[in-house]
A and B are shown apart, each in its own frame.
Chain A
């Protein structure tokens, strides 16, 4: 079966712009989580969506938002981009509550200049 698909793979934006990242989970998976990965901070949890509802949220400012559609596809949006938002953004899906582990996409590498 197809894995978790994230688009685009690479993105370059300028400060102040906004960006939307997309994630298509494994078919049948209802939970989608988003992470920010940077060399200094490791994996930072952004939020998790389950059946179109945000189930968990990390400690990120309101500039970071997300949503999930009825087909479980998810998007995250970052508004008013800052240089510090440059990172690898990873999406992960799981069937229900993560007992089987999460399947990760390859990520979107965002560079803010």
Chain B
């Protein structure tokens, strides 16, 4: 069965510093990978996705992620964070075949401090 592990439940960082949010998954089949962001009292918003092709994926708000098949990871990075990036970040994986049910990580709370 597929599973997703977000290795850090909370990540504090200073403004303008780089950040990496880690995500590992387990699956025996080809997968699609996603990162979503949730701001307080809102739904989730798609940041970026990996379906196939280049392993480096660029998303909105200056975020990017790298798919590493051998390490079954899909870490999210941003070279310089802003206060407005403070939010909850979720990694999700789905089977690339017929059953596309999303499996979610528990989330990483990113706190950007001035």
- The reply to whether B107 and A90 contact each other, CB–CB distance below 8 Å, is no
Q: What are 11 A-B interface contacts by the 8 Å CB criterion?
A: A6-B43, A42-B107, A45-B102, A90-B43, A92-B44, A97-B100, A98-B100, A99-B49, A102-B44, A104-B45, A107-B43
- The reply to whether B104 and A104 contact each other, CB–CB distance below 8 Å, is no
Report how many residues on chain B are interfacial, defined by Cβ distance under 8 Å: 21
Taken together as a complex, chains A and B put the C-alpha atoms of A107 and B99 apart, in Å, by 25
Task: Please name the residue on chain A nearest to B107 by beta carbon.
Answer: A42
Q: Which residues of B have CB within 8 Å of A48?
A: 101
Taken together as a complex, chains A and B put the C-alpha atoms of A45 and B90 apart, in Å, by 14
Query: Which residues of A approach B to under 8 Å, CB–CB?
Result: 4, 6, 33, 42-43, 45, 48, 56, 90, 92, 97-107
Taken together as a complex, chains A and B put the C-alpha atoms of A62 and B43 apart, in Å, by 25
Number of A-B residue pairs at CB separation under 8 A: 49
Query: Which residues of B approach A to under 8 Å, CB–CB?
Result: 32, 34, 36, 41-46, 49, 51, 90, 94, 99-102, 104-107
Given contacts A42-B106, A43-B104, A56-B99, whether A101 and B49 have CB atoms under 8 Å apart is: yes
Q: Which residues of A have CB within 8 Å of B102?
A: 33, 45, 98, 102
Q: Which residues of B have CB within 8 Å of A105?
A: 43
- The reply to whether A103 and B46 contact each other, CB–CB distance below 8 Å, is yes
Task: Please name the residue on chain A nearest to B90 by beta carbon.
Answer: A43
Cross-chain contact of B46 among A33, A43, A90, A101 (Cβ < 8 A): A101
